[in-house]
Structures are given as C-alpha cells and as structure tokens.
Amino acid sequence: MSAISVSQAIVLGVVEGVTEFLPVSSTGHLKITEGLMGIPVDDTSVVAFTAVIQVGAIAAVLLYFFKDIVRIVSAWGRGLANREERHHHDYKFAWWVIYATIPIVVVGLAAKPLIEGALASLWVVAGSLIVGSGVMWAADQMGRHRRGEGDTRLKDAMIVGCSQILALLFPGFSRSGATMSAGLMLDLERVAATRLSFFLGIPALTGAGLYELKDALGAGVDPLPLVVGTAVSFIVAYASIAWLLKFVAKHSFNAFVVYRILVGVLLLGLLGSGALTA
C-alpha cells in the first residue's frame, strides 16, 4: 500500500510546483508538508515520490522557455558547423551553460554520501533558509541592477552556475535563491538574474531528475498518486514561473526574504517541539 494517497499527492504537487523555482526552498516546504500530513518522510517510496514529481516542474520550465531553448541550441549547432556563426551571443551562451554546469555535477557526484547523509538534516534546511535570506537581502541591496540579459558574460555564468553548489550542499539555501543572489551581486537586473537562474538550472535539474528517476521507478511507488502529483506539479510550476518573472520586474526580493525567515523559524519550532524529526 502506498504511503501517499491521491489527495496528498495533489497537495505535494502544488507545493513542489510553487516552490521549485521560487527562492524559498522546495526541500524545506515538502518536508514540512509531509510531516504535517503524517507522511513518513524517510519511507523509500516517499523519497522516490518526491524525486519523481520534481520532473513535472522540470518539464514546466522546459516548456515555458521552449522557444529560447530552441533558439540557443540552434545557434550552438550553427556555430559548431560554421565559424562565422560563433560570434553570436546565443552560441557563446550555450557553451557558458555547459561550462557552468560542470562544477555542480562534479560536486554532486563527489559529495553524494554527505548530501544524502548529514547535510540532509532539516536542522540544516532551517539554518540555510535563514542564512540564505540574509544573503539574498544583501545581494538585492548591493546590486546596481544595471545589466541586462544581453550583457552577460562567461564570468557571470560561471559564478551563478557555481552558486548552485550552495543549494546542493545546504538544501534550505534554495537553488533559485543562490543563483538569483549571485546574479544580483553581479549587478544584473532582477529579471535578467532570474532568467539566468532558470537557464543555468535547466541542465542541472534535468540531469538530477533523470538520475533520481531511475532509482525511484524500482521503489514501489503507487503509479496513480505519482502521475497525479507530477501532473499537478507541472501545471502549478508553469504558472509559478510566469508569475515570478512578472513579479521581479516590478518588485524587490524583500517579500521572499521575510517569507524565508518565517519558514525557517517555523521549521526550527517544529523540530524543537518534536512535531518533525530532523
């Protein structure tokens, strides 16, 4: 019998879809939600379920940026075949995404036992949520928001790409939060920093999702809740991406900073009271 019902799958799909790309830590939110619903978070099928429904969110970002992805990949292909095409920004950007993905892949494989062990503790998630909030606030205040997406360079891609390692090692830091903060510190506009965060996250998230999927398929997960959760995650994540890009065009990241602190404190309270286990 599955540890997750269809109704619970819908709730978790919504949580995953909303939080995967917002700078608020999807890991922390899923763990809190599972704990509050009485779902055994350390159950193998639950871990597998969480890994698979992330694929829905990944599919959403691939669809949302499909035209951009096709444009960039096409420019990369033309550049490989024609030297004259290599001066185009899209061709260079494609290589930058590849280069910037290498560090997180290397660290992810090398530190896998640590990431799935001591660093998986919800105490780490809570602390990272709060500390990451301070980093995001400082980045938003210090950044001059004067550079657009067309002004990005290899240095920007490498720094933003490497910042994903923070979220990998300290899950509550949030991949989106880390990459957006890095972009802001490089004086990118908020929308440019957010879009760069998405583009650099696509290879890492897709690779991680497929890597975890192969293990999840043999974990005995009930297919119905899995399909429902993944579908809900896809729909909600697509809407979340569209909302986020419109929001950052007119607002600072302060709302996320405050929210992250509140969630971090809530998580500390739940852990301290025994309502959740680390």
Q: Which structural domain range is residue 124 located in?
A: 6-273
Helix orientation angle between 44-64 and 190-216, rounded to the nearest 10 degrees: 140
Our count of domains for the chain comes to 1
Confidence (pLDDT) at 115? 80
Closest Cα to residue 18, out of 56, 49, 46?
A: 56
Q: What is the pLDDT of residue 216?
A: 66
Residue 199 lies in a domain: yes
- The whole-number mean pLDDT for each consecutive block of 10 residues of the chain, a chain of 278 residues, reads 83 96 88 84 76 89 95 96 92 95 92 81 90 95 90 94 92 90 95 94 83 68 87 97 95 94 92 82
Q: Is residue 84 part of a domain?
A: yes
For residue 230, being part of any structural domain is answered with yes
180 is a domain residue: yes
Determine the pLDDT at residue 1: 47
Residue 17 has a pLDDT of 96
Radius of gyration of the chain (CA): 19
In a domain, 1, yes or no: no
In a domain, 181, yes or no: yes
- Position 92 scores a pLDDT of 95
pLDDT of residue 233: 96
Q: How many CB atoms lie within 10 A of CB 185?
A: 19
Q: Is there a domain that residue 278 lies in?
A: no
Residue 32 lies in a domain: yes
**In angstroms, how far is the first alpha carbon of the chain from the final one?**
25
Residue 215: half-sphere exposure toward Cβ, Cα within 13 Å: 12
For residue 99, the model assigns a pLDDT of 96
